Structures are given as structure tokens and as C-alpha cells.
Structure 1
Amino acid sequence: MKIIHSIQELRKELYMRRFDKERISFVPTMGNLHEGHISLIHKAAEKGDCVVASIFVNPLQFGANEDLESYPRTPEQDEAQLLATGCVDFLFRPRVEEIYPVGQENHTVVEVPNISDVYCGASRPGHFRGVATIVCKLLNIVQPDFAIFGRKDYQQLMVIEKMVEDLCLPVKVIGADTARAKDGLALSSRNGYLTSDERQCAPALYKALQEAKEVILSGQADFKGIQARANHALEQAGFKPDYFDICNAKTLEPALRSDQELVILAAAYLGKARLIDNIVISLTPAEEE
């Protein structure tokens, strides 16, 4: 694994790989890696001949009162984990000045309309503008054949897919299943903010999603009632709910009774941590063989 800090050097290395007809897979991260990230690396290795990972804590996607300065950074452990996979050819670790040479305030930004403004976008104004901008930049720097993202960040994945489609970027975006702890908690770098007591409560978020899914699969379609009961259950478990919404899985619009493909998006605060999760529901009858 070769560690690279400059755009020019990475492009030079990848030019040679393309010359050799290698397919390039890319996994962008913000570091503080866990098993979920490593599962993305293995997925990338399945798809491509050359695997590129990046670690960059993107200041453009953090709001004024968010945790940019305190966001966990574990560079030595991250490098060791990536090296241990035996899959990563290049680790791109640029400085902020390399990515935003004229400063963030004077930098062109990428805005994905509508789906960026709801749920996490409403709670964190400007967040998805920062995400879309850095992902677009990284995809243009790496120019991969495949880019791998986790489905835990369902709305983020949809923002990226729409950006790639709208801007005609020549990359296939692949969503990978959410990696979870044995008790169901979705793996996240922000889980490190949880105290030991909060960590014991945290699986209640996924439990609420599972229970809501079962109710919907049983035939109930009182979505507002289901959402209200879930929010109450989360409050009882010690959470401060941000949102718990049943949506059309393709558009993220509030779900209608006629919708067949649904996703429940949830975000809630538990102490200092803001946890997000989701669960997908298909109401389409399975075809008989």
C-alpha cells in the first residue's frame, strides 16, 4: 500500500494502472475506520483490480456548531487496518490545502436539489452541499470505474447517485449493506462518542426500525401513527429523536399507501452522539418460481 498526499502523484500512479487495463475501485472515507469501512474495502477488491482508499475529514460538510475539531482522527490505526486487508493499493491522504487551495469560501460547490434539503439536510443545512462537492472532486481526481459507499447513509447515497447521474460522471456507484454490531447497532465513527451506558441503549434505534417494519409488513398503513409510536419508544429509551420517517425508497417523499418500495429513515441524539440508521421495506409480492 502506497500512501499519497498529492493529487498530481495519485493521478500519475493511476494513469499507469489504467494503461495496464486495470479496473479501479474507490472507497472514500473520513478515517477513524471500523469494520464497516473494511467491508467496503473488500467489496471494492471484488469489483476492481486496483483499490484506492481516501481519508479526508472534509470541513465543507460540517456546520458552524458541529464536531469538525473533535471528529475522531486515528491515522496510525487507520493505515494499519487498511494495510492488514491486503487489498489497498493506494491510500490518498490529502491536506485541506491540497483539496481547497483557494479556501472553502471561494471554492466551487456542487448542489443536488430537493433530496439534499430534507431529513439530515434539514437538520444540518449545507451538509450535503459539502458531501456532494468533496465526492465530486474525489471522483474526478481518482476517476474510478467503481465507487463504494455504505447504505447506512441512505440519503447520502441517493445524493451521490443523483449527482453522478446528473453530471454524467463515468463511474458506477455501488451501495454496500450496513455493517452492524451483534446487537444491531449500525457501525459508525460517531459511536465512539457514546458512554458505556449509552452504548447499551443505542441498539434501540435499530429495534424501533425493525418493529416499524414488521407493523407495515402486517398490512398497517397508518404511517403517521407508526412514526409517532416509534418516536415515543425512542424517547423512552433515552434518545432525543430528530426524525423517524417512512418514505418512498426512490424519491424520499413521504410514503403513500400505494407505494411498494419504502425506506424508514431515522436519526436521533443519544448524549453527544447523533446516530442515523434506516431499514428498507419491499411490499411487492415475491414472484413464484
Structure 2
Amino acid sequence: MGYFLRTLQLLSTCVAISLVGSLDSWTVPTSNWSFVILCFCFLVTLIILIIELLVLQYYFSFSWGDFLLCHACYLALFCLLVSIIYPATYVQFLPCNPSRDRAIAASAFCFISTVAYATEAIWILGWPRTGDFTGYIGSLPFLLKMLETLVACVILPFISNPSLYMDHPFLVSCVAVYSICFFLGIVTILLNLADCENRLPISSSTFHLVLSLLSVLLYIGALVLWSLYQFDAKFGGQPERSRDVSCQHRLTNYVCIWDQRLAVAILTAINLLIYVADLVYWTCQFSVGTEDQPRDA
């Protein structure tokens, strides 16, 4: 079953990559982002298939079941995002011609990949629990981290246009915040999958609490700075969509600049709420851990 699903995943992502790559859309940020995501899904799935064919998974020190489940959940959501964002930000702006048909076909194969990865995740969850899982995958901390990294990943195509932020150092710092928090989230997931948190000089709850607090503070600053410098006229922003020339007419084949700015602001606010929920969870865990410790008289 696993080999069948991964073969379907490879075929569907390969066809989608070919269709997206055949279009003359290298100047469209969301199209480039979709192409990179599909290539990443294809490469990771190919590596996993090779490892399992050579029976090399038993040489890894981490839980292979956790890794497969994490891989299936992440890539299912990645392909789902591509199958939604690619048509919404690029395909709908294309005229009725063969290029539009290829773009629609690429979106369809992305959705097939989504179904294949989601089916693999459900199939893995049905495995008998014989020590292949550590319990981290499926827990609330993992779900929050997965949402945080996914939202940050969606922000990336909208900030891939340097004209949005290169004129202001504060906007550049917002882009740095998105990148740093995304990297920290991936590192945290890898530490948990490899069961390396016990090797840290501080407790796990303290580590996550500090990391969540830092991420919340960074995202608050990014949300405030991005909103001021993009939409407040006093700071050189454009408060009204009608003032953006690219939004007045169909001069481009992708989402206009003002809409990209708004998308980044909304996604920043959504991710901030997720980080706040993460902070509340680890604050509760830290408080419970402190109360359970013996106190001196």
C-alpha cells in the first residue's frame, strides 16, 4: 500500500511540475512558489521510496513511523495549498487558451497529490502501535507548530516580490521575522522527531516557553510595522486599493501589489494568533511543572 501511494504521489507531482514548468510564468511569485513546493514534495517522496526499497529505515535513530506521518501530513497540506493558491492567484487571470488548460490540469494533479498524501497519513494512523510512534505526532504542540510553519510558508510567495519591502528597513526586518520564526519552527519539529530535547541544558517546557514568547514578540512587531508602512499614508503606505495602478486594470497576470500586501498582513495576524495559543499552552505546562516540583520549607 505504501509503495502504491508513493508511486501515485511521484507520478501526480511529476506531471504537475511538468505542466507548471511548461508555462511562461517565471515572473509570477506564486507560480514560482508552487513549482518549488511541488519539486520539494517530489524529491522528499522519492528519497523515502528509495530508503524503503533499500530497507535503510532501520539504521536511523529516530522514529520512522513519526517521520512518515509528519511527511504525509505536511506534504498533503502543502499540495492542498498549491491546489488552492495557484488557481486563485494565477490561473484565474489567464485568458482562455491552451496555457490556461495546462494550468488547470496542473491544479487538478496537485489535488490528486493531496488526496494521495492524505490517504497515506490515514493509512499510517491505522498501523498497529508497536513502538513505531513516540506520540509527538498528533499532539497539540505538533499541530500548532505545523500550522505556524504552514502559514509562514504561505507568506513566502507574497513577499517574494522585493518591491514590497526593499525601500524600508523596517519592512526588511518583517521579512527577517518570517524567515527566522519559520526556521525555528522546523528546528523544533526536528528536535522532537529525533528525541533530542532531553539533551538541551534547560527543560523542554522552558525551551518551548522561551521560543514561543520570542516568536509572539517578533510577530507583534512584524504585524505593527507591516501595517504602518504598507497602509498608513504617514509612513509612505497606500491606505486605499484604488490608488494602486496594478489593481485598477488587468495589467498583470497575477494578484496586484496592494492585494499582496493585504494578504501578508492577514496571514501575519493569523500566525500571531497561533503563536499566542502556543504560548498559552506552554505557559500552562511550565506552571504545572513548577507546581509539581518540591519546595523548600
Do Structure 1 and Structure 2 share a fold, with TM-score over 0.5? no
Structure with greater helix percent: 2
Q: What TM-score, normalized to structure 1?
A: 0.30
Bigger relative contact order, structure 1 or 2 (CA pairs below 8 A, ≥6 apart): 2
Structure number having the greater strand percentage = 1
TM norm structure 2:
0.29
Q: Please identify the structure whose Cα radius of gyration is greater.
A: 2
